[in-house]
Structure formats: structure tokens, C-alpha cells
Amino acid sequence: MKTILFWTLAVVITLASAYYQRKTGPTYPKKVEIQFADNSIKFALPRSSDSNEDRVVELPTNNAFNSVKLHYRRFPVNEPFSTLNFKQQDNKLIAYLPKQAPAGKLEYFLSFKSSESEEEIETEHVVIRFKGSVPAWALIPHIIFMFVAMLLSNLSGLFALGKIEKHVFYGKLTLLLLLFGGMIFGPIVQHYAFGQAWTGIPFGWDLTDNKTLIAVIFWLVAVLGNRKSPKYRYTLIASIVLFLIYIIPHSLFGSELDYSSGEVITGFIQLLF
């Protein structure tokens, strides 16, 4: 019964943390609501896109405003905003953000003008990052390995907490999956997406790369420490570290194109965007 309970808790913790990261990550669509008198408009602004095509921004049609414009500029370049008008297409209003090279970013916002007055409302500024296409053979294993590693890490920690010696076995599996998912397929995905396989220590401060490195180090210490006899505290500490790392928003410090030099550097996507 204890084993079943721990498996259930591990699944729940993993799914909850994955959902939390998805909702808080700075590369997922930003939900926005615009209020005109008693009329509200809800939509989502993209914050990630492939670099091989312009990124469409879609809005539902609404009689509450008579014009809506898209304002954008390269990020973090200090330059004037370019402006585009949204156009009607089918039952939607659309405008396109121009595609950028991998790791290139645009800062943009929308402005609405009321159809009943001269009132103009602007959305908050959003940053979108462009990336190269990642082949499925690299992306799918990366996602699966990292997700299962998180699941088994949580399970190992719960087993260690319950003094169940099988935490040693699941700890070894966790380390193996982290190595394959984070240290092999991770750099491959990064290379296809941004042209740089590794931008963590000692080459940069990419948060995703450094989080993976820290997790691997803690789990390596835990596995080596459990070689001769089970030491529950090693496994528990490693599982807690990986859990804390996992819920840090993804791509907080990520690859960013330096427009002045044309090189990919470690940038910063602010959570306020």
C-alpha cells in the first residue's frame, strides 16, 4: 500500500509541477483581456515561434473597437517601434510579426481604438523568441526522458522518505535518464533551435543548461553515495533539488541573438512580459 501511495504521489507531484512550469514559463502564450466599457475581448499573444516563417497574431472580431494595430521592434534593441494594421480574414483579425533568425527576439504590443470614443488602450509589452525547427527524433526523446526522470526522481525521494531501499534503483534510473535527456538530447535540441549546443557554464549563463548540469551533479553524488549502502538523505536531497529546479520557469535565461554582432548569447526574458 505504501508503494502504491508513493507512486500516486509521484505522478501527482510531477504533473502538478509540469503544469505550473507551463503556466509560468515566459515562452508560453500570454493571455490578455481588453475591456471597453462593458465589452471585453480575450485573446493570447504568442511568445515563441519558428524562425522559418512570419508569426501570425490573431484576434477575434469585435465591434467594440474600430481599429487595432501591432507595434514591434527588435529586442533588446533601442529603436523605434514599427506599426502594422490588423486585417480582416474570415472571422478573425490578423497581423504578422516578421520572422527572425534563431534566438532572435521581438518586443511587441497591441493598441486598440474604441469605436464609440477616442479612447485608446494598449496591451502590456510581450517578448517573442524565434527558434529553428527541431526534428522529432531529437525533441520527443528529450521531452520523454526529462519527464520520466522527474517522475522517478520524485518517486526516489518519496521512497527515501519512507525508508524503502528501492530508492537506490530508481535513483540510478533517474541519473541515466537525466544524462540521456538533458546532457545528450538537450544539447542536440538546443543546437537545432538556436545554433548553440551548450550555453551554460563555463560558456554562458543559460538557465536551462545550468539547471540540467546542477541536477546531474546532485544525482551523480546521490548515486555514488549509495553504492555501498543506502543513504536516504542523499537521494532525498537530490530529489528535492531536481524538484526545485524543475519548477523554475523555463527559458528564464535563454539563448538570445545579439543583433549588433550577429552572435547568439545568453539573454534574459523578463517574467513581467
Residue-by-residue pLDDT tens, the chain, 273 positions: 788 999 999 999 999 988 887 777 767 889 998 887 677 888 999 999 999 999 999 998 877 777 889 999 999 999 999 999 999 888 889 999 999 999 899 999 999 887 666 778 899 999 999 999 999 999 999 999 999 999 999 999 999 999 999 999 999 999 999 999 999 999 999 889 888 777 777 776 677 788 889 999 999 999 999 998 888 999 999 999 999 888 776 655 567 888 888 777 765 544 333
Q: What is the distance of C-alpha 234 from the center of its chain?
A: 29
Torsion sign over Cα 61, 63, 67, 70? negative
Interatomic CA distance for residues 182 and 180, integer angstroms? 6
Whether domain 30-131 has CATH 3.55.50.30: the reply is: no
List the domain boundaries for the chain. 2-25+134-266, 30-131
Core vs surface per residue 161-184: b (16+ CB within 10 A) or e: eeebeebbebbbbbbebbbbbbee
